[in-house]
Amino acid sequence: MIYEILKEDIRTKARLGKLKTPHGEVKTPVFMPVGTQGAIKTLSPEEVEEVGAEIILSNTYHLFLRPGYEIIEKAGGLHSFMRWNRPILTDSGGYQVFSLARLRKIEEEGIHFNSHIDGTRYFYTPELVIEIQRALGSDIVMPLDICLGYGASYWEAKEALEITMRWLKRSLDYKNKNGRKDQILFGIIQGGFYRELRKKAVEEMVGLDLEGFALGGISVGEPKEMMYEITDYTLDLLPKNKPRYLMGVGAPEDLVIGVSMGIDMFDCVLPTRLARHGVFYTSFGRRNIKNAQYKEDFSPLEENCDCYTCKRFSKAYIRHLFLQHETFSYRLLSIHNLRFLFRLMGRIRISIQEGRLDEFRKEFLSNYLRNDRENRLEKEEIWSRLLI
C-alpha cells in the first residue's frame, strides 16, 4: 500500500496520511505546485523546496512536445533533467489536449491533435501516454482521459466516460506489460456533473488495480458550489484506503473545503500565475501589488510570514519592480504565494491532528473570503453560503 491514514477527523471527512513514492514520502493532505515545462515558473528547485513543496506536478503533454521525452530519458529522467529529487506526479495531458478544441479529434484508438506550438500532427494513445511517463520516470503517473468542460450534456459525458474507462484499462494493461513496477498509476474519475455517471465511474474503477483516485473534469468553468457538490458526492463513494487527488484545484478556500471533504492531494497553477499578475495571498484574502496604497508601504507582503520575500523585501520595493516589469518581482510574489499555501496546508494538517479542523476552516474562510479584494463580487455571492 502506498497510502497510509494516520488520523481521521471526527467532525469533517478530512484524513491525515502519508503517501509513499519511489522518491520519498509525502505528508497528506498535500498541495503540488505546477512545473508545466519542467520548472516551476520563475523558481529554482531549491526555492521550491524551501517554500515547503514535497511533491510537484509536471505535464506529459508539454514535455512530449518540448523538449521531447526521448531527450529527458537520455538525461536520466525528469528528476535528473530538472534537478528535483523529490516525488513528481505527471498529468497525462487529457486536459491540455481537450483545451485544443478544434485542433483535436477523438476516436476509440486515441486522440489526433495538432501541436499548439507549430501545428505538427500527433497521435496520442493511452499506451503512448504511459510510455512517455515511463521515460520521464515520474513517481505518480496519470492515464489518458477525456476531460469535458462545464455544460457538456449527459450523453456527451456518458460517452466520454466510457472511452475514458476503456482507455484506463488499456493504460493498466500497457503499464503491467511494459511499464515500470515502481510507478504509481491513479485512475481519473470523469462523468461531468452527473451523479449517476460519477457513481458508475467509481464502481468500475474500484475493481481495478489502481493505487489512487483522481477527480477529473472539475474546475472546468462550473459554479464553485457545483464543484464542491460533485466532489463531495464522488468522494463519499470511494474506498478510504487509497489517496484522492482533486485535479487542477487549489485556491486557498478550495484547499480548506476540499480537505474537509476528504481530498488528500491538490495541484494548481494559481499561486504562480497570480504572482505574475501582481496578486498575492494574505490571510485576509488576495491583494494586488499594483495598488497605489502600497507605494510607500515598507512592510512585508504579510506580517508574520516566514518566506524569503517577506523576511527581506517591502511591498514598496516589490511594487516598484513589478511596475517596471522586473522578473525578480514575479519570483518574489511566487515564493510568497506558494509559501502561503504550504503554511496553510501545514495548519490544516495540524488542525486535523488536533481534531479542530472544523473551527479552523470556519475561521480561515471567514477571514479570507470576507476580506478578499480580487474578484470581490464573485466571492461575495458564495462566501455567505459557504459560511453557513
Residues serving a catalytic function are 91, 267
Residue 79 C-beta: closest distance to a copy of itself, Å: 12
Asked if 39 touches a copy of itself (CB under 8 A), the answer is: yes
Asked if 136 touches a copy of itself (CB under 8 A), the answer is: no
Nearest-angstrom CA–CA distance, 184 and 21: 8
Asked if 351 touches a copy of itself (CB under 8 A), the answer is: no
Asked if 313 touches a copy of itself (CB under 8 A), the answer is: yes
Cell of 347: 495548519
Nearest-angstrom CA–CA distance, 372 and 255: 16
Residue 269 C-beta: closest distance to a copy of itself, Å: 14
- Count the residues in the chain: 388
Asked if 269 touches a copy of itself (CB under 8 A), the answer is: no
Residue 280 C-beta: closest distance to a copy of itself, Å: 18
DSSP 138: -
DSSP string, 345-356: HHHHHHHHHTT-
Asked if 120 touches a copy of itself (CB under 8 A), the answer is: no
Residue 126 C-beta: closest distance to a copy of itself, Å: 26
Count the Cβ atoms, other than its own, within 10 Å of residue 291: 13
Give 26's strand partners. 19
Q: Which is nearer to a copy of itself, 280 or 294 (CB)?
A: 294
Asked if 316 touches a copy of itself (CB under 8 A), the answer is: yes
Count the Cβ atoms, other than its own, within 10 Å of residue 132: 24
What phi, psi does 278 have (nearest 5°)?
85, 0
- Which of the ranges 126-134, 190-198, 325-333, 360-368 carries the binding residues for a copy of itself, by CB under 8 A? 325-333
Residue 72 C-beta: closest distance to a copy of itself, Å: 9
Cβ-contact 90, 36 below 8 angstroms = no
Q: Write the CB contacts of 163 (distance below 8 Å, at least 6 apart in sequence).
A: 106, 108, 146
Cell of 173: 494493461
Q: Cell 515511463 sits at which residue? A: 134
Name which of residues 59 to 88 contact a copy of itself (CB under 8 A).
66-67, 71, 74-75, 81-83
Asked if 290 touches a copy of itself (CB under 8 A), the answer is: no
Asked if 333 touches a copy of itself (CB under 8 A), the answer is: no
Cβ-contact 208, 168 below 8 angstroms = yes
Q: Which is nearer to a copy of itself, 59 or 231 (CB)?
A: 59
Question: Under the rule (CB under 8 A), what is the footprint of a copy of itself?
Answer: 37-39, 41-44, 66-67, 71, 74-75, 81-83, 295-296, 298, 312-314, 316-317, 319-321, 323-324, 326-328, 330-331
